[in-house]
Structure 1
Amino acid sequence: MPHLAEQSRFTLGGTTITYLPDGYGAHHPDTMMPGVDWAAHPGSLADSLLVLTFGAFLVRTGDQNILVDLALGEMDVDIPGVARLKGGELLRSLAAEGLSADDIDTVVYTHLHLDHVGWTSDVAPVPNGPRTRTPTGLTFARARHLMAQDEWRYWSARTGELGGPDADVVLKPLEGVVEFIGGGDTIAPGVTVEDTSGHTPGHLAVVVRDPSGAGRESVFLAGDIFHAPVEIADPNLSFSSDVDPDRAKAVRDRVLERPDTVIAAGHFPHGVFGRAVPTGDTYTWTTVDGSPSSR
Protein backbone atom coordinates (compact mmCIF):
# COMPACT_ATOMS: atom_id res chain seq x y z
CA MET A 1 0.00 0.00 0.00
CA PRO A 2 1.53 3.35 -1.02
CA HIS A 3 1.49 6.37 1.26
CA LEU A 4 -1.87 8.10 0.85
CA ALA A 5 -3.21 11.47 1.94
CA GLU A 6 -5.25 11.13 5.11
CA GLN A 7 -8.56 12.70 6.01
CA SER A 8 -7.71 16.30 6.86
CA ARG A 9 -9.37 19.66 7.38
CA PHE A 10 -8.74 23.34 6.77
CA THR A 11 -10.86 26.01 8.45
CA LEU A 12 -11.75 29.53 7.33
CA GLY A 13 -13.83 31.24 10.00
CA GLY A 14 -16.99 29.17 10.36
CA THR A 15 -16.38 27.25 7.12
CA THR A 16 -14.53 23.93 7.00
CA ILE A 17 -13.04 22.18 3.98
CA THR A 18 -12.39 18.49 4.63
CA TYR A 19 -10.57 16.06 2.38
CA LEU A 20 -12.41 12.72 2.18
CA PRO A 21 -10.18 9.90 0.89
CA ASP A 22 -11.61 7.30 -1.49
CA GLY A 23 -8.57 5.43 -2.85
CA TYR A 24 -5.55 5.77 -5.07
CA GLY A 25 -4.02 5.13 -8.47
CA ALA A 26 -0.52 3.75 -9.02
CA HIS A 27 0.31 5.10 -12.48
CA HIS A 28 3.06 4.44 -15.00
CA PRO A 29 4.76 7.85 -14.88
CA ASP A 30 5.94 8.02 -18.48
CA THR A 31 2.43 7.25 -19.69
CA MET A 32 0.83 9.95 -17.58
CA MET A 33 3.53 12.63 -17.86
CA PRO A 34 5.73 11.85 -20.85
CA GLY A 35 9.14 13.46 -21.14
CA VAL A 36 9.71 14.17 -17.45
CA ASP A 37 13.23 13.68 -16.08
CA TRP A 38 12.12 12.05 -12.85
CA ALA A 39 15.69 11.94 -11.53
CA ALA A 40 15.50 15.73 -11.29
CA HIS A 41 12.48 15.43 -8.99
CA PRO A 42 13.48 13.06 -6.19
CA GLY A 43 10.62 11.81 -4.06
CA SER A 44 8.05 12.13 -6.84
CA LEU A 45 7.76 8.39 -7.50
CA ALA A 46 7.10 5.42 -5.23
CA ASP A 47 8.63 2.15 -6.46
CA SER A 48 8.94 3.79 -9.89
CA LEU A 49 5.20 4.60 -9.99
CA LEU A 50 3.38 7.92 -9.84
CA VAL A 51 0.88 7.57 -7.00
CA LEU A 52 -2.17 9.83 -7.03
CA THR A 53 -4.74 9.99 -4.25
CA PHE A 54 -8.45 9.96 -5.13
CA GLY A 55 -11.06 11.65 -2.97
CA ALA A 56 -13.54 14.49 -2.58
CA PHE A 57 -13.71 17.75 -0.65
CA LEU A 58 -16.52 18.41 1.79
CA VAL A 59 -17.29 22.10 2.26
CA ARG A 60 -19.45 22.82 5.29
CA THR A 61 -20.67 26.41 5.48
CA GLY A 62 -23.73 27.56 7.38
CA ASP A 63 -26.28 24.78 7.04
CA GLN A 64 -24.95 23.60 3.66
CA ASN A 65 -22.92 20.45 2.97
CA ILE A 66 -21.21 20.61 -0.43
CA LEU A 67 -19.17 17.85 -2.07
CA VAL A 68 -16.63 18.88 -4.68
CA ASP A 69 -16.03 15.89 -6.98
CA LEU A 70 -17.08 12.29 -6.40
CA ALA A 71 -13.78 10.40 -6.50
CA LEU A 72 -13.26 6.96 -8.08
CA GLY A 73 -15.98 4.69 -6.69
CA GLU A 74 -15.91 1.07 -5.63
CA MET A 75 -13.38 -0.63 -7.87
CA ASP A 76 -10.04 -2.40 -7.95
CA VAL A 77 -8.86 -2.62 -11.54
CA ASP A 78 -5.66 -2.75 -13.58
CA ILE A 79 -5.46 -0.82 -16.83
CA PRO A 80 -2.44 -2.32 -18.61
CA GLY A 81 0.27 0.22 -19.32
CA VAL A 82 -1.61 2.95 -17.47
CA ALA A 83 -2.39 2.31 -13.80
CA ARG A 84 -3.88 0.24 -11.06
CA LEU A 85 -6.95 1.99 -9.66
CA LYS A 86 -8.47 1.21 -6.28
CA GLY A 87 -11.33 3.07 -4.61
CA GLY A 88 -14.37 2.63 -2.43
CA GLU A 89 -13.78 4.56 0.82
CA LEU A 90 -15.70 7.80 0.18
CA LEU A 91 -18.92 7.01 2.05
CA ARG A 92 -16.95 5.70 5.03
CA SER A 93 -14.87 8.89 5.01
CA LEU A 94 -18.10 10.90 4.92
CA ALA A 95 -19.51 8.87 7.82
CA ALA A 96 -16.41 9.75 9.85
CA GLU A 97 -17.63 13.36 9.60
CA GLY A 98 -21.03 12.33 11.00
CA LEU A 99 -22.77 12.60 7.62
CA SER A 100 -24.55 10.26 5.22
CA ALA A 101 -25.26 10.63 1.51
CA ASP A 102 -28.64 12.15 2.32
CA ASP A 103 -26.98 15.00 4.19
CA ILE A 104 -25.28 16.33 1.04
CA ASP A 105 -27.28 19.12 -0.60
CA THR A 106 -24.87 20.09 -3.42
CA VAL A 107 -22.40 18.19 -5.63
CA VAL A 108 -19.99 20.23 -7.76
CA TYR A 109 -17.93 18.54 -10.46
CA THR A 110 -14.67 20.24 -11.36
CA HIS A 111 -14.75 18.05 -14.48
CA LEU A 112 -15.93 14.62 -15.60
CA HIS A 113 -12.84 12.44 -15.74
CA LEU A 114 -13.26 8.92 -14.41
CA ASP A 115 -11.67 9.55 -11.02
CA HIS A 116 -13.92 12.54 -10.25
CA VAL A 117 -17.34 11.00 -10.96
CA GLY A 118 -17.13 7.51 -9.43
CA TRP A 119 -19.89 7.92 -6.84
CA THR A 120 -22.38 9.62 -9.18
CA SER A 121 -24.72 6.62 -9.19
CA ASP A 122 -24.90 3.43 -7.16
CA VAL A 123 -22.75 1.61 -9.74
CA ALA A 124 -19.05 2.44 -10.08
CA PRO A 125 -17.82 3.28 -13.60
CA VAL A 126 -15.22 0.51 -13.83
CA PRO A 127 -13.21 1.16 -17.03
CA ASN A 128 -13.37 -1.65 -19.59
CA GLY A 129 -15.13 -3.84 -17.04
CA PRO A 130 -18.26 -5.97 -17.49
CA ARG A 131 -21.51 -4.33 -16.45
CA THR A 132 -23.08 -6.59 -13.82
CA ARG A 133 -25.65 -4.11 -12.46
CA THR A 134 -27.82 -1.33 -13.78
CA PRO A 135 -27.85 1.93 -11.80
CA THR A 136 -31.00 2.49 -9.77
CA GLY A 137 -30.33 6.10 -8.80
CA LEU A 138 -27.90 8.81 -7.77
CA THR A 139 -25.73 8.22 -4.69
CA PHE A 140 -26.46 11.74 -3.45
CA ALA A 141 -30.10 11.72 -4.45
CA ARG A 142 -31.10 14.83 -2.48
CA ALA A 143 -28.30 17.00 -3.86
CA ARG A 144 -28.13 19.44 -6.73
CA HIS A 145 -25.50 18.27 -9.25
CA LEU A 146 -23.56 21.16 -10.80
CA MET A 147 -20.99 21.42 -13.60
CA ALA A 148 -20.00 23.61 -16.53
CA GLN A 149 -22.16 23.25 -19.63
CA ASP A 150 -19.09 22.92 -21.87
CA GLU A 151 -17.98 19.91 -19.81
CA TRP A 152 -21.35 18.18 -20.23
CA ARG A 153 -21.46 18.86 -23.97
CA TYR A 154 -17.89 17.68 -24.54
CA TRP A 155 -18.28 14.32 -22.83
CA SER A 156 -21.83 13.70 -24.06
CA ALA A 157 -20.34 13.63 -27.56
CA ARG A 158 -17.49 11.29 -26.56
CA THR A 159 -19.13 8.44 -24.68
CA GLY A 160 -16.89 5.41 -24.33
CA GLU A 161 -13.63 7.37 -24.39
CA LEU A 162 -11.11 5.94 -21.91
CA GLY A 163 -10.81 8.19 -18.89
CA GLY A 164 -14.12 9.92 -19.49
CA PRO A 165 -17.48 9.44 -17.77
CA ASP A 166 -19.33 6.19 -18.38
CA ALA A 167 -22.52 6.83 -20.35
CA ASP A 168 -24.68 4.33 -18.46
CA VAL A 169 -23.61 4.90 -14.86
CA VAL A 170 -22.65 8.60 -14.94
CA LEU A 171 -24.20 10.53 -17.82
CA LYS A 172 -27.62 8.88 -18.05
CA PRO A 173 -28.36 9.12 -14.30
CA LEU A 174 -27.56 12.85 -14.52
CA GLU A 175 -29.84 13.57 -17.48
CA GLY A 176 -32.60 15.91 -16.45
CA VAL A 177 -30.90 16.51 -13.10
CA VAL A 178 -27.65 18.29 -13.91
CA GLU A 179 -27.55 22.09 -13.53
CA PHE A 180 -25.01 24.27 -15.29
CA ILE A 181 -22.79 26.86 -13.64
CA GLY A 182 -19.94 29.04 -14.85
CA GLY A 183 -17.07 31.19 -13.73
CA GLY A 184 -18.09 33.79 -11.17
CA ASP A 185 -21.18 31.94 -9.97
CA THR A 186 -21.80 31.63 -6.24
CA ILE A 187 -22.76 28.21 -4.81
CA ALA A 188 -23.04 29.25 -1.18
CA PRO A 189 -21.93 32.24 0.92
CA GLY A 190 -18.17 32.46 0.43
CA VAL A 191 -18.10 29.62 -2.15
CA THR A 192 -17.66 30.53 -5.82
CA VAL A 193 -16.47 28.85 -9.01
CA GLU A 194 -13.84 29.92 -11.52
CA ASP A 195 -13.45 28.94 -15.15
CA THR A 196 -10.18 26.98 -15.33
CA SER A 197 -10.73 25.21 -18.64
CA GLY A 198 -7.69 23.65 -20.24
CA HIS A 199 -7.30 20.24 -18.65
CA THR A 200 -10.82 19.71 -19.98
CA PRO A 201 -13.04 22.15 -21.90
CA GLY A 202 -15.29 22.89 -18.93
CA HIS A 203 -12.93 22.47 -16.00
CA LEU A 204 -13.93 24.52 -12.95
CA ALA A 205 -12.17 25.36 -9.71
CA VAL A 206 -14.02 26.06 -6.48
CA VAL A 207 -12.82 28.93 -4.30
CA VAL A 208 -13.76 29.11 -0.62
CA ARG A 209 -13.50 32.25 1.49
CA ASP A 210 -14.66 33.12 4.97
CA PRO A 211 -18.22 34.37 4.32
CA SER A 212 -17.88 36.85 7.18
CA GLY A 213 -15.24 38.70 5.17
CA ALA A 214 -12.64 38.37 7.92
CA GLY A 215 -9.17 37.71 6.55
CA ARG A 216 -7.93 37.63 2.97
CA GLU A 217 -6.96 33.97 2.73
CA SER A 218 -8.86 31.62 0.43
CA VAL A 219 -8.78 27.89 -0.30
CA PHE A 220 -8.56 27.02 -3.98
CA LEU A 221 -9.99 23.56 -4.77
CA ALA A 222 -7.93 22.87 -7.85
CA GLY A 223 -9.44 19.73 -9.37
CA ASP A 224 -6.95 18.53 -11.99
CA ILE A 225 -5.06 21.79 -12.47
CA PHE A 226 -2.37 19.93 -10.52
CA HIS A 227 -1.89 16.17 -10.32
CA ALA A 228 1.46 16.02 -8.51
CA PRO A 229 3.89 18.46 -6.85
CA VAL A 230 6.23 18.09 -9.83
CA GLU A 231 3.80 20.32 -11.77
CA ILE A 232 4.33 23.04 -9.18
CA ALA A 233 8.10 22.73 -9.41
CA ASP A 234 7.84 22.80 -13.23
CA PRO A 235 4.51 24.27 -14.44
CA ASN A 236 5.58 23.73 -18.07
CA LEU A 237 4.94 20.00 -17.78
CA SER A 238 1.86 18.50 -19.41
CA PHE A 239 -0.38 15.71 -18.19
CA SER A 240 -1.41 13.14 -20.78
CA SER A 241 -5.13 13.87 -20.40
CA ASP A 242 -4.83 17.65 -20.84
CA VAL A 243 -7.19 18.47 -23.71
CA ASP A 244 -5.50 21.82 -24.30
CA PRO A 245 -1.96 21.66 -22.82
CA ASP A 246 -1.12 25.32 -23.50
CA ARG A 247 -4.28 26.53 -21.82
CA ALA A 248 -3.77 24.12 -18.91
CA LYS A 249 -0.27 25.55 -18.41
CA ALA A 250 -1.61 29.11 -18.46
CA VAL A 251 -4.12 28.16 -15.76
CA ARG A 252 -1.36 26.61 -13.61
CA ASP A 253 0.72 29.78 -13.95
CA ARG A 254 -2.24 31.90 -12.92
CA VAL A 255 -3.01 29.80 -9.86
CA LEU A 256 0.61 29.74 -8.72
CA GLU A 257 0.65 33.54 -8.72
CA ARG A 258 -2.47 33.91 -6.55
CA PRO A 259 -1.72 35.68 -3.25
CA ASP A 260 -3.02 34.48 0.12
CA THR A 261 -4.07 31.13 -1.28
CA VAL A 262 -4.09 27.63 0.15
CA ILE A 263 -4.27 25.13 -2.71
CA ALA A 264 -6.37 22.01 -2.16
CA ALA A 265 -4.76 19.47 -4.49
CA GLY A 266 -6.75 16.28 -4.11
CA HIS A 267 -4.30 14.00 -5.91
CA PHE A 268 -1.23 14.79 -3.76
CA PRO A 269 -0.47 11.68 -1.66
CA HIS A 270 1.56 13.37 1.10
CA GLY A 271 -0.99 16.04 2.02
CA VAL A 272 -3.61 17.82 -0.05
CA PHE A 273 -3.61 21.28 1.58
CA GLY A 274 -0.58 23.47 0.96
CA ARG A 275 0.99 26.53 -0.56
CA ALA A 276 3.15 27.08 -3.62
CA VAL A 277 6.14 28.90 -2.15
CA PRO A 278 8.31 30.90 -4.60
CA THR A 279 11.81 29.41 -4.69
CA GLY A 280 14.08 31.28 -7.08
CA ASP A 281 12.50 31.01 -10.52
CA THR A 282 10.21 28.14 -9.53
CA TYR A 283 7.95 27.01 -6.66
CA THR A 284 8.07 24.47 -3.86
CA TRP A 285 4.93 22.72 -2.62
CA THR A 286 4.72 23.09 1.15
CA THR A 287 1.91 21.44 3.10
CA VAL A 288 0.03 23.62 5.54
CA ASP A 289 1.87 22.16 8.51
CA GLY A 290 5.03 23.62 6.96
CA SER A 291 6.59 20.32 5.86
CA PRO A 292 7.95 20.41 2.29
CA SER A 293 6.75 17.63 0.01
CA SER A 294 8.13 16.56 -3.39
CA ARG A 295 10.13 19.17 -5.27
Structure 2
Amino acid sequence: MARPADRITIGETSITYLADGFGAHNPDTMMPGVDWTAHPGVLDDGQLVLTFGSFLVRAGNRNILVDLALGDMDVEIPGLAHVKGGELLRSLAAEGLSPDDIDTVVYTHLHLDHIGWTSDVAPVPNEPGKRTPSGLTFSRARHLMARAEWEYWTRTAVGEMGGPDAEATIEPLDGVVEFVRDGDTIAPGVTVADTSGHTPGHLAVVVRDPSGAGDESVFIAGDIFHAPVEIADSTCVFSSDVDPDQARAVRDRVLRRPDTVIAAGHFTTGVFGRVTPAGGGYAWTPVGQAPPAA
Protein backbone atom coordinates (compact mmCIF):
# COMPACT_ATOMS: atom_id res chain seq x y z
CA MET A 1 0.00 0.00 0.00
CA ALA A 2 1.06 3.59 -0.51
CA ARG A 3 2.18 5.20 2.74
CA PRO A 4 1.35 8.67 4.08
CA ALA A 5 5.02 9.64 3.84
CA ASP A 6 5.50 8.71 0.15
CA ARG A 7 7.38 11.77 -1.06
CA ILE A 8 9.51 13.07 -3.90
CA THR A 9 11.39 16.34 -4.30
CA ILE A 10 12.18 18.33 -7.39
CA GLY A 11 14.53 21.19 -6.70
CA GLU A 12 13.23 22.77 -3.48
CA THR A 13 9.64 21.71 -4.18
CA SER A 14 8.24 18.61 -2.49
CA ILE A 15 5.28 16.45 -3.48
CA THR A 16 3.91 14.21 -0.72
CA TYR A 17 1.17 11.61 -1.01
CA LEU A 18 -1.38 11.96 1.80
CA ALA A 19 -3.23 8.69 2.25
CA ASP A 20 -6.97 8.74 2.93
CA GLY A 21 -8.06 5.11 2.42
CA PHE A 22 -8.55 2.34 -0.10
CA GLY A 23 -11.12 0.45 -2.12
CA ALA A 24 -11.44 -3.20 -3.09
CA HIS A 25 -13.12 -3.24 -6.51
CA ASN A 26 -14.69 -5.81 -8.81
CA PRO A 27 -12.01 -5.92 -11.53
CA ASP A 28 -14.32 -7.01 -14.33
CA THR A 29 -16.68 -4.14 -13.62
CA MET A 30 -13.92 -1.56 -13.34
CA MET A 31 -11.86 -2.71 -16.35
CA PRO A 32 -14.10 -4.81 -18.59
CA GLY A 33 -12.41 -7.13 -21.05
CA VAL A 34 -9.03 -7.41 -19.31
CA ASP A 35 -7.50 -10.89 -19.24
CA TRP A 36 -6.35 -10.86 -15.64
CA THR A 37 -4.47 -14.15 -16.05
CA ALA A 38 -2.03 -12.21 -18.23
CA HIS A 39 -1.27 -9.91 -15.28
CA PRO A 40 -0.38 -12.18 -12.36
CA GLY A 41 -0.13 -10.56 -8.97
CA VAL A 42 -2.27 -7.54 -9.86
CA LEU A 43 -5.42 -8.73 -8.06
CA ASP A 44 -5.64 -9.21 -4.31
CA ASP A 45 -7.93 -12.12 -3.47
CA GLY A 46 -9.73 -11.51 -6.78
CA GLN A 47 -10.19 -7.78 -6.13
CA LEU A 48 -8.60 -4.74 -7.75
CA VAL A 49 -7.36 -2.67 -4.81
CA LEU A 50 -6.90 1.07 -5.34
CA THR A 51 -5.62 3.64 -2.86
CA PHE A 52 -7.31 6.99 -2.25
CA GLY A 53 -5.47 10.14 -1.27
CA SER A 54 -4.28 13.64 -2.12
CA PHE A 55 -0.98 15.14 -3.20
CA LEU A 56 0.49 17.91 -1.09
CA VAL A 57 2.71 20.22 -3.15
CA ARG A 58 4.95 22.50 -1.12
CA ALA A 59 6.37 25.13 -3.47
CA GLY A 60 8.11 27.97 -1.66
CA ASN A 61 5.63 29.27 0.90
CA ARG A 62 2.69 27.67 -0.93
CA ASN A 63 0.77 24.60 0.30
CA ILE A 64 -1.31 23.08 -2.49
CA LEU A 65 -3.55 20.01 -2.40
CA VAL A 66 -4.22 18.18 -5.63
CA ASP A 67 -7.56 16.38 -5.18
CA LEU A 68 -9.44 15.77 -1.94
CA ALA A 69 -9.62 11.98 -1.80
CA LEU A 70 -12.63 9.91 -0.71
CA GLY A 71 -13.75 11.42 2.59
CA ASP A 72 -14.81 9.95 5.90
CA MET A 73 -16.83 6.95 4.78
CA ASP A 74 -16.94 3.15 4.90
CA VAL A 75 -19.34 1.99 2.21
CA GLU A 76 -20.23 -1.16 0.31
CA ILE A 77 -21.31 -0.38 -3.26
CA PRO A 78 -23.07 -3.56 -4.43
CA GLY A 79 -21.41 -5.22 -7.39
CA LEU A 80 -18.72 -2.57 -7.57
CA ALA A 81 -16.55 -2.02 -4.50
CA HIS A 82 -16.04 -1.66 -0.80
CA VAL A 83 -14.47 1.75 -0.19
CA LYS A 84 -13.15 3.23 3.02
CA GLY A 85 -11.63 6.64 3.69
CA GLY A 86 -11.17 9.10 6.52
CA GLU A 87 -7.41 9.46 7.06
CA LEU A 88 -6.62 12.57 5.01
CA LEU A 89 -6.66 15.17 7.78
CA ARG A 90 -4.52 12.91 10.00
CA SER A 91 -2.09 12.45 7.10
CA LEU A 92 -1.99 16.22 6.68
CA ALA A 93 -1.39 16.73 10.40
CA ALA A 94 1.54 14.30 10.21
CA GLU A 95 3.12 16.83 7.83
CA GLY A 96 2.69 19.57 10.43
CA LEU A 97 -0.22 21.23 8.62
CA SER A 98 -3.87 21.96 9.33
CA PRO A 99 -6.65 22.72 6.83
CA ASP A 100 -6.09 26.45 7.42
CA ASP A 101 -2.53 26.09 6.08
CA ILE A 102 -3.72 25.01 2.63
CA ASP A 103 -3.88 27.96 0.21
CA THR A 104 -4.92 26.15 -2.98
CA VAL A 105 -6.97 23.08 -3.90
CA VAL A 106 -6.75 21.80 -7.47
CA TYR A 107 -9.23 19.20 -8.65
CA THR A 108 -8.08 16.93 -11.46
CA HIS A 109 -11.78 16.07 -11.86
CA LEU A 110 -14.95 15.66 -9.81
CA HIS A 111 -15.40 11.93 -9.42
CA LEU A 112 -16.46 10.85 -5.94
CA ASP A 113 -13.04 9.63 -4.79
CA HIS A 114 -11.31 12.93 -5.62
CA ILE A 115 -13.67 15.36 -3.86
CA GLY A 116 -14.53 13.69 -0.54
CA TRP A 117 -13.07 16.37 1.74
CA THR A 118 -14.54 19.34 -0.15
CA SER A 119 -16.91 20.07 2.72
CA ASP A 120 -17.32 18.69 6.24
CA VAL A 121 -19.82 16.12 4.95
CA ALA A 122 -18.52 13.17 2.94
CA PRO A 123 -20.55 12.55 -0.25
CA VAL A 124 -21.55 8.99 0.64
CA PRO A 125 -23.35 7.30 -2.30
CA ASN A 126 -27.09 6.89 -1.75
CA GLU A 127 -26.85 7.80 1.93
CA PRO A 128 -30.24 8.63 3.44
CA GLY A 129 -30.58 11.52 5.85
CA LYS A 130 -27.34 13.26 5.01
CA ARG A 131 -26.11 16.04 7.28
CA THR A 132 -26.05 19.55 5.83
CA PRO A 133 -22.50 20.81 5.28
CA SER A 134 -21.46 23.82 7.33
CA GLY A 135 -18.67 24.88 4.97
CA LEU A 136 -15.56 24.02 3.01
CA THR A 137 -12.94 21.90 4.76
CA PHE A 138 -10.15 24.08 3.34
CA SER A 139 -11.97 27.34 3.79
CA ARG A 140 -8.95 29.61 3.24
CA ALA A 141 -7.96 27.97 -0.04
CA ARG A 142 -8.72 28.83 -3.63
CA HIS A 143 -10.55 25.91 -5.27
CA LEU A 144 -9.51 25.41 -8.90
CA MET A 145 -10.72 23.18 -11.74
CA ALA A 146 -11.40 23.27 -15.47
CA ARG A 147 -14.57 25.07 -16.53
CA ALA A 148 -15.58 22.08 -18.68
CA GLU A 149 -15.50 19.84 -15.59
CA TRP A 150 -17.77 22.10 -13.57
CA GLU A 151 -20.21 22.56 -16.43
CA TYR A 152 -20.38 18.85 -17.16
CA TRP A 153 -21.38 17.90 -13.61
CA THR A 154 -23.67 20.89 -13.02
CA ARG A 155 -25.44 20.87 -16.41
CA THR A 156 -25.01 17.62 -18.34
CA ALA A 157 -24.46 14.85 -15.79
CA VAL A 158 -26.27 16.19 -12.73
CA GLY A 159 -26.75 13.42 -10.15
CA GLU A 160 -24.93 10.78 -12.22
CA MET A 161 -23.49 7.90 -10.19
CA GLY A 162 -19.86 8.51 -9.27
CA GLY A 163 -20.09 12.26 -9.67
CA PRO A 164 -20.25 15.07 -7.12
CA ASP A 165 -23.06 15.25 -4.60
CA ALA A 166 -25.07 18.46 -4.89
CA GLU A 167 -25.22 19.21 -1.15
CA ALA A 168 -21.80 17.97 -0.08
CA THR A 169 -19.78 19.28 -3.03
CA ILE A 170 -21.52 21.45 -5.62
CA GLU A 171 -23.36 23.84 -3.32
CA PRO A 172 -20.33 24.61 -1.09
CA LEU A 173 -18.23 25.28 -4.22
CA ASP A 174 -20.82 27.34 -6.07
CA GLY A 175 -19.64 30.93 -6.21
CA VAL A 176 -16.21 29.97 -4.85
CA VAL A 177 -14.75 27.77 -7.59
CA GLU A 178 -12.24 29.35 -9.98
CA PHE A 179 -11.44 28.05 -13.45
CA VAL A 180 -8.02 27.31 -14.90
CA ARG A 181 -6.94 26.36 -18.41
CA ASP A 182 -4.21 24.32 -20.05
CA GLY A 183 -0.81 25.83 -19.27
CA ASP A 184 -1.93 28.09 -16.42
CA THR A 185 0.61 28.56 -13.63
CA ILE A 186 -0.79 28.19 -10.11
CA ALA A 187 2.51 28.47 -8.20
CA PRO A 188 6.18 28.79 -9.14
CA GLY A 189 6.98 25.71 -11.21
CA VAL A 190 3.42 24.33 -10.90
CA THR A 191 1.14 24.32 -13.95
CA VAL A 192 -2.01 22.55 -15.08
CA ALA A 193 -2.43 20.51 -18.26
CA ASP A 194 -5.60 19.68 -20.16
CA THR A 195 -5.95 15.87 -20.10
CA SER A 196 -9.66 15.59 -20.84
CA GLY A 197 -10.98 12.15 -21.73
CA HIS A 198 -11.61 10.34 -18.47
CA THR A 199 -13.94 13.26 -17.83
CA PRO A 200 -14.59 16.29 -20.06
CA GLY A 201 -12.50 18.66 -17.95
CA HIS A 202 -9.87 16.35 -16.51
CA LEU A 203 -6.64 18.13 -15.57
CA ALA A 204 -3.17 16.98 -14.64
CA VAL A 205 -0.78 19.02 -12.51
CA VAL A 206 2.84 19.32 -13.64
CA VAL A 207 5.55 20.22 -11.15
CA ARG A 208 8.98 21.44 -12.28
CA ASP A 209 11.95 22.96 -10.50
CA PRO A 210 11.17 26.69 -10.72
CA SER A 211 14.89 27.48 -10.75
CA GLY A 212 15.22 25.70 -14.10
CA ALA A 213 18.18 23.71 -12.77
CA GLY A 214 16.84 20.39 -14.09
CA ASP A 215 14.64 19.06 -16.87
CA GLU A 216 12.75 16.43 -14.87
CA SER A 217 9.11 17.00 -13.96
CA VAL A 218 6.51 15.28 -11.79
CA PHE A 219 3.20 14.65 -13.55
CA ILE A 220 0.29 14.31 -11.09
CA ALA A 221 -1.98 12.22 -13.25
CA GLY A 222 -5.36 12.09 -11.54
CA ASP A 223 -7.34 9.28 -13.18
CA ILE A 224 -5.29 8.97 -16.34
CA PHE A 225 -4.04 5.84 -14.57
CA HIS A 226 -5.75 3.68 -11.96
CA ALA A 227 -3.46 0.64 -11.87
CA PRO A 228 -0.19 -0.43 -13.53
CA VAL A 229 -2.12 -2.76 -15.85
CA GLU A 230 -3.13 0.34 -17.84
CA ILE A 231 0.56 1.01 -18.46
CA ALA A 232 1.30 -2.56 -19.53
CA ASP A 233 -1.80 -2.90 -21.74
CA SER A 234 -2.68 0.14 -23.86
CA THR A 235 -6.05 -1.36 -24.84
CA CYS A 236 -7.46 -1.07 -21.30
CA VAL A 237 -10.66 0.88 -20.84
CA PHE A 238 -11.75 2.08 -17.42
CA SER A 239 -15.48 1.83 -16.80
CA SER A 240 -15.96 5.48 -15.86
CA ASP A 241 -14.08 6.94 -18.84
CA VAL A 242 -16.51 9.41 -20.42
CA ASP A 243 -14.61 9.27 -23.72
CA PRO A 244 -12.61 5.99 -23.75
CA ASP A 245 -10.78 6.69 -27.00
CA GLN A 246 -9.67 10.12 -25.85
CA ALA A 247 -8.72 8.79 -22.42
CA ARG A 248 -6.57 6.11 -24.05
CA ALA A 249 -4.91 8.69 -26.34
CA VAL A 250 -4.09 10.90 -23.34
CA ARG A 251 -2.64 7.90 -21.49
CA ASP A 252 -0.42 7.02 -24.45
CA ARG A 253 0.75 10.63 -24.73
CA VAL A 254 1.70 10.79 -21.06
CA LEU A 255 3.64 7.54 -21.29
CA ARG A 256 5.82 9.08 -23.98
CA ARG A 257 6.75 12.16 -21.90
CA PRO A 258 10.53 12.40 -21.45
CA ASP A 259 12.18 12.99 -18.07
CA THR A 260 8.95 12.50 -16.16
CA VAL A 261 8.01 10.95 -12.83
CA ILE A 262 4.34 9.98 -12.82
CA ALA A 263 2.37 10.47 -9.62
CA ALA A 264 -0.45 7.93 -9.77
CA GLY A 265 -2.53 8.26 -6.64
CA HIS A 266 -4.43 4.97 -6.93
CA PHE A 267 -1.36 2.69 -7.21
CA THR A 268 -0.77 0.36 -4.26
CA THR A 269 2.88 -0.43 -5.11
CA GLY A 270 4.02 3.17 -4.62
CA VAL A 271 2.43 6.23 -6.17
CA PHE A 272 5.59 7.74 -7.70
CA GLY A 273 7.22 5.93 -10.58
CA ARG A 274 8.71 5.99 -14.04
CA VAL A 275 7.76 4.13 -17.20
CA THR A 276 10.16 2.32 -19.48
CA PRO A 277 9.55 0.64 -22.85
CA ALA A 278 8.90 -3.09 -22.46
CA GLY A 279 8.09 -5.23 -25.45
CA GLY A 280 5.32 -3.52 -27.36
CA GLY A 281 4.29 -1.40 -24.40
CA TYR A 282 5.59 -0.02 -21.12
CA ALA A 283 6.48 -1.16 -17.62
CA TRP A 284 5.95 0.70 -14.36
CA THR A 285 8.82 1.06 -11.91
CA PRO A 286 8.17 2.69 -8.53
CA VAL A 287 10.75 5.32 -7.59
CA GLY A 288 13.56 3.71 -5.65
CA GLN A 289 13.28 0.34 -7.37
CA ALA A 290 15.32 -1.01 -10.25
CA PRO A 291 13.51 -1.23 -13.61
CA PRO A 292 12.63 -4.72 -14.85
CA ALA A 293 15.19 -6.49 -16.99
CA ALA A 294 14.67 -5.94 -20.72
Which of the five TM-score ranges fits, normalised by the shorter chain?
over 0.9
> 1:129: how far off?
1.0
Matches of residues 245-284 of structure 1 in structure 2 within 5 Å? Answer: 245-284=244-283
TM-score, normalised relative to structure 1? 0.97
Look up the match of 1:77.
75
Q: State which of 20, 23, 37 in structure 2 corresponds to 1:22.
A: 20
Deviations 1:221-249 (A, max 9, x none): 00000000000001221000000000000
Aligned residues: 290
Q: Deviations over 1:92-147 (max 9, x none)?
A: 00000000000000000000000000000000000011233100000000000000
Which one-letter code corresponds to 1:242 in the other structure? D
Provide the aligned C-alpha RMSD in A: 0.9
Deviation at 1:289, TM superposition (A): 0.8
- Extract unaligned runs of 5+ from structure 1: none
Equivalent position of 2:185 in the other structure:
186
Q: Tell me, what secondary structure is at the counterpart of 2:100?
A: helix
Which amino acid in structure 2 is aligned with residue 231 of structure 1?
A: E
CA distance in 1, matches of 2:16, 2:291: 21
CA distance, structure 2, for counterparts of residue 25 and residue 112 of structure 1? 17
Distance (whole Å) between structure 1 residues aligned to residue 220 and residue 147 of structure 2: 19
- State the Cα deviation string for residues 55-75 of structure 1 (Å, max 9, x = none): 000000110000000000000
Partner of 1:152: 150
Which residue of the partner structure matches residue 54 of structure 2?
A: 56
Alpha-carbon distance in 1 for matches of 2:212, 2:290: 29
Distance 2:170 2:224 in 1: 23
Structure 1 runs of 4+ off > 6 angstroms? none
> What runs of 5+ residues in structure 2 fail to find an aligned partner?
none
Alignment match, 1:37: 35
What's the offset of the Cα at 1:159? 2.4
- For residues 85-234 of structure 1, the aligned pairs below 5 Å read 85-157=83-155, 158-234=157-233
- Amino acid across the alignment from 1:255: V
Q: How far apart are the structure 2 equivalents of 1:216 and 1:105?
A: 27
C-alpha distance in structure 2 between counterparts of 1:105 and 1:244, whole Å: 32
Q: Determine the C-alpha separation between the residues in 1 that align with 2:144 and 2:130.
A: 28
Deviations 1:252-273 (A, max 9, x none): 0100000000000000011000
CA distance in 2, matches of 1:270, 1:292: 14
Deviations 1:148-204 (A, max 9, x none): 000000000222211000011000000000000010100001000000000000000
Opposite residue 5 of structure 1, the aligned amino acid is A
**Greater alpha carbon shift after TM alignment, 128-137 vs 261-270:** 128-137
CA distance in 2, matches of 1:120, 1:107: 9
Among residues 3, 6, 9, which one is paired with 1:6 in the alignment?
Answer: 3
Letter in 1 for 2:164: P
Distance in 2 between the 1:65 and 1:247 partners? 32
Kindly provide the amino acid, as one letter, of the partner of residue 62 in structure 1.
G
